[in-house]
Amino acid sequence: MTEPLIFEISRPGRCAASLPECDVRPSALPKDLLRDELPLPEVSELDLVRHYVRLSHLNHAVDTGFYPLGSCTMKYNPKVNETLARLEGFVATHPYQPEWTVQGNLILMYELQECLKEISGFAAVSLQPAAGAHGEFAGMLMVRAYHLDRGDRGRTKVLVPDSAHGTNPASTAMCGFEVVEIRSDERGNVDLEDLKAHCDEHVAGMMLTNPNTLGLFDEHILEIADIVHGCGGLLYGDGANLNAIVGVAKPADLGFDIMHFNLHKTFSTPHGGGGPGAGPVGVTQALAQFLPGPIVVEEESDEDEGPYYSLAMPAKSIGRLKAFYGNFGVLVRAYAYIRHLGASGLRRVAEHAVLNANYLRVRLQDTYPLPYKRTCMHEFVLSGTIPGAEGVRTLDIAKRLMDFGFHPPTIYFPLIVPEALMIEPTETESLETLDAFAGAMLKIAEEARTQPEMLHDAPFTTPLRRLDDVRAAREPKLRWQP
């Protein structure tokens, strides 16, 4: 590694802080808290600043380069939303303050609930869940509560397509349901015959991502909803890919009963590194009473007084899922993003995301196998099995992309595509950036045929070369020890 550890640049006696003389009587620390050996680094302020600035430059970020990471929307998020989320009135609020002192916060939450209802077509929304998978878990709890409330205790199965996000079966199983996998057909849709074969009186519901993880809009979504509803089940929407249809189609109109929103993906908030997020859930009127709470409600008031907002638990709520009221800073960013763009702006986001993805798809599909030859939504999935380069794998392609200055896309997902390369350019990338990425991919394909050993050894320009990914995941060294 080119940058030494801060412990390695440490020199005895140097200090990055200069504290004023203490003007109160010192108080001794308890002896049991004192340590003789505390190997903290000793560096000057300048060395400290330079060290961490250099480290920050070793990271690839959406602010410094293209990030075509499908499935997790590492999109550009307007910096003004960061400023708004840091306004003193928001960050200085204490969650135990009385309602009447935080009316501004509650207005924002209420209006965000209303915005999400309008965008999705659902009757009610709760902002409680902290992330997408948390929203899935909330959704499955509501599915269970709905059936139990009707006295129907025989519904034990949840149907999940083979193209689903891995969190779908996990959320299903955590709620005590049996996971039943449904095949995809030759066009990447849910296989209707397989779906019908598994629909019976034991089906509690189905979890479906639309557009799915192949980047394809299911051509039979209305029929799927009818089949699932026909056997008494509920249709859950994994909203991870809402970015492709926001402002264009409303999930409730497509037949979904429940859906979670990934505010951190669709509606702004930088999410590289894993958080924080927000996964509000929207439901139809029949399920509104089961929403996790509290939710924000507008109370009736006299005409002379302004509206008053308070927190309330739905009548048969599955309960509270998050301490206090969710990740509030993410809610502020989402509200700012939605209000800034408006209805027409949100639609343009979806249209540009789909346009960018299809531009790249067309430029690459004659070189990299495209398993499902259809117009895609905001992402598409290629295979890294390049004809004439049988010894090269998708991992080699991803590693080589780093040498061209691009973050690799998601690889080996979805599982139903051999050597999968999931590419999601997002809506804000320019034509020049898309062309540069396509050019790099085409160059790598040429190298794969003529110089496969180069791809096997890539990357060459990163601070560290080819890492042992498995060992890095299973044996991470997170603490320095002398």
Question: What are 290-335's pLDDT values in tens digits?
Answer: 999 999 999 977 777 789 999 999 999 999 999 998 899 999 999 9
pLDDT digits (tens, 9 = 90+) for 130-154: 999 999 999 999 999 999 999 999 9
The answer to whether 421 and 407 have CB atoms below 8 angstroms apart is no
Which residues are CB-contacts of 372 (< 8 A; sequence separation ≥ 6)?
187, 188, 214, 216, 381
User: Which sign does the torsion angle of CA 399, 448, 377, 344 carry?
Assistant: positive
pTM: 0.92
Residue 375 in this model has a pLDDT that exceeds 90: yes
Residue 272 has a pLDDT of 64
8-23: average pLDDT? 93
For the chain, counts of helices (H) and of strands (E)? 14, 12
3-state SS class at 202: coil
Residue 220: pLDDT band by 50, 70, 90 thresholds?
very high
| pLDDT tens, residue by residue, 151-208 | 999 999 999 999 999 999 999 999 999 999 999 999 999 999 999 999 999 999 999 9
For 401-414, the pLDDT digits (tens) are 999 999 999 999 99
Q: Which helix (H) or strand (E) holds 354?
A: helix 328-364
Question: At 37, which amino acid appears?
Answer: E
